A and B are shown apart, each in its own frame.
Chain A
Amino acid sequence: MSFIQLKNVSYKYPIGKGDVLKGINVKIEKGGFYALIGANGSGKTTFCNVLRGFVPHFYKGDLRGDVLIDGKDIREWEMGELAQKIGFVFQNPFTQISGVKETVFEEIAFGLENLGVDVDIIIQKVEEVIGLLGIDYLRDKNPQELSGGQKQRVALASIIVMEPEILVIDEPTSQLDPRGTEEIFKIIELMKLKGKTIILAEHKIELIAEKAEQILVFQDGEVVMQGTTEEILTDPQVLEYGAALPQYALLGLEMKKRNWEVGQIPLTEQQAITTVKGLSHPKGEQVCHS
């Protein structure tokens, strides 16, 4: 049985005009790294909100079908209980930072404090996470005075310290610079190595191609494609659905279109280098190029 399973799930927000999720069937396996891609407004964020129980617990609205988390229906989970199982990182770190804590250390400790964990254990766990994420130099700073990238790392730290089994991360890098983006992806990879299940909505498709194992393509509230990263991100159909493909795959597809011998369509920089090195022209015939 899958770790998370959605069976024929549809959802309408309380004041919404129509369904924002339509007949979704998805299985998520423990320890997998799943990326959600698709146009803005295609349902990725609402899907994330279903997984963390914000739909229907907080937003109410009309949820149909079955959402099973670790075998138990989402409607039967207590919000507090679910929050310990699923950590959620917002798109905007400013939304996540509590605003009531004066140091990064206290900010990261905030969640555990609320659970009434022993002070000694809190300190130990916060120290661990600070070490793991390499943010020791931030520990005494005021969370409000950090850069966007630093804030987002602190936001992640404050979730990771709770030790959730599943991390749902909604466009964590959309407001960050390239360096900040890399730092966030390093942390996500680290969590993957620790056996966490990762569900990530993200537009930066070259990074997705490099790191994710499975892809769900959203369009207009439906999951229109799902499969391995290799299958999905080399398929030009993805573009028809308003989602992006990596530059490397687009290069390979263009070569294929011209009947060059490409072999496997490349997904990453390394694969693209191999592809170009191994290029050969089909049967030596001259192709007419426009």
Chain B
Amino acid sequence: MSFLTLEDVSFRYPNGYKAVENVNMSFSKGEAVAIVGQNGAGKTTTVKLMNGLLKPESGNVIIDGWNTKDYTTAQISRKVGYVFQNPDDQIFHSDVYSEIEFAPKRLGLPPEKIKESVMKAAELAGVVPYLKEHPYNLPFSMRKFVTIASVLAMESKVIILDEPSAGQDLLAMERLGLMIRTLVAEGKTVITITHDMEFVVNHFERVIVMANRRKISEGNKRDIFWDFDVLEESMLKQPHISRVSRSLQLEEKVLSIDEMMNHLQQVNNW
């Protein structure tokens, strides 16, 4: 059953720029969904509509029975946590612990519960060693994990990650993957904007494709990454291993190294 629904949503910025047109999407509890598309496709505007930072010009955004038009962003943020694309848009405390503690504290939780939430979030985001550091003494990639932790500490049911994979190294990508799996296992909905197709292959099943302010397709990652009309319209490329498979006209629509290995073994009867 849908927990978060966008019904025919359009949005125009105050300067007149129409950023999102007639978008329909829905998300269930306990699923991880990737949103892909070039910059300017409307991805960030769409997710900002989900947590009430923006309100639709027309259409409705319904979260857990609430229409975002009837609630404040502060109220909605208890249900939907949004991690900004740029951590520096979000960070404002002078140490990592206070940064993470801010939201649960504002929710008025008892001190023990606050501490528990902060530590759980810090652990999941891998920032426990940096709790006493000033966020700006940390590199960009780690600051991103600080902002992720501060959103996780809200324990909202929906978590939106806006390009968490940008500029991350191998270890950080693995940590992100593990974190997403853990959240989904806890029944949370994780919605992630990314440009990294291997990241999508490794950690997501459902993919939403946006181009020119609209949702142009959605579906299982295999159907999406082998739909050349959709890829062309959104100017996206197949995952690297899929490209090899396509050039060789292999029978199977492979997405990953493992799948390629299995396929080659089978066809060669090795």
Tell me, yes or no, whether A171 is within 8 Å of chain B by CB. Answer: yes
Tell me, yes or no, whether B241 is within 8 Å of chain A by CB. Answer: yes
Question: With A178-B236, A255-B261 as given contacts, are A171 and B167 in contact (CB-CB < 8 Å)?
Answer: yes
> Are A276 and B244 touching (Cβ within 8 A)?
yes
Contacts of B198 in A (CB 8 A): 247
> What is the total number of residues of chain B having a CB less than 8 Å from a CB of chain A?
33
Which of the listed residues B170, B171, B268 has the most CB atoms from chain A within 10 Å of its own CB? B170
> Are B264 and A203 touching (Cβ within 8 A)?
no
> Are A178 and B235 touching (Cβ within 8 A)?
yes
Tell me, yes or no, whether B75 is within 8 Å of chain A by CB. Answer: no
Tell me, yes or no, whether B217 is within 8 Å of chain A by CB. Answer: no
Tell me, yes or no, whether A23 is within 8 Å of chain B by CB. Answer: no
- Chain B residues numbered 230-270 whose CB sits less than 8 Å from any CB in chain A: 235-237, 239-241, 243-244, 247-248, 257, 260-261, 264-265, 268, 270
Residue in B139, B167, B264 whose beta carbon sits within 8 Å of that of A175 in the complex:
B167
Contacts of A289 in B (CB 8 A): 265, 270
Interface bits A234-272 vs B (CB < 8 Å: 1, else 0): 000001001110111011001100101000000001001
CA distance A179 to B40 in the complex (A): 12
Residue of A nearest to B41 (CB): A177
Contacts of B142 in A (CB 8 A): 40-41
> Which of A53-61, A102-110, A279-287 lies at the interface with chain B?
A279-287
> Are A272 and B244 touching (Cβ within 8 A)?
yes
> Are B170 and A39 touching (Cβ within 8 A)?
yes
Contacts of B265 in A (CB 8 A): 289
> Are A40 and B172 touching (Cβ within 8 A)?
yes
Residue of A nearest to B240 (CB): A247
Contacts of A242 in B (CB 8 A): 169-171
Q: How far is the CB of B167 from chain A (nearest CB, A)?
A: 3
CA distance A273 to B43 in the complex (A): 34
> Are B169 and A203 touching (Cβ within 8 A)?
yes
> Are B168 and A40 touching (Cβ within 8 A)?
yes
CA distance A41 to B137 in the complex (A): 12
Question: With A40-B142, A248-B240 as given contacts, are A239 and B268 in contact (CB-CB < 8 Å)?
Answer: no
> Are B38 and A178 touching (Cβ within 8 A)?
yes
Contacts of B260 in A (CB 8 A): 251, 276
Question: With A148-B39, A180-B39, A273-B247 as given contacts, are A175 and B268 in contact (CB-CB < 8 Å)?
Answer: no
Tell me, yes or no, whether A149 is within 8 Å of chain B by CB. Answer: yes
Contacts of A246 in B (CB 8 A): 240
CA distance A179 to B166 in the complex (A): 14
Residue in A39, A91, A250 whose beta carbon sits within 8 Å of that of B169 in the complex:
A39
State the B residues within 8 Å of A (CB): 38-40, 139-142, 166-172, 195, 198, 235-237, 239-241, 243-244, 247-248, 257, 260-261, 264-265, 268, 270
4 A-B pairs closest in CB distance: A174-B167, A247-B240, A177-B39, A40-B141
Chosen A-B contacts, 27 in total, with CB atoms closer than 8 Å, are A39-B169, A40-B167, A41-B142, A91-B140, A91-B167, A147-B39, A148-B39, A171-B167, A174-B166, A176-B195, A178-B38, A178-B195, A179-B38, A179-B235, A203-B169, A244-B169, A246-B240, A247-B241, A251-B257, A251-B260, A269-B244, A273-B247, A276-B248, A277-B248, A279-B264, A286-B270, A289-B265
Q: In the complex, given contacts A171-B167, A176-B195, A178-B235, what are 4 additional A-B residue pairs having Cβ atoms less than 8 angstroms apart? A: A39-B169, A39-B170, A148-B39, A178-B38
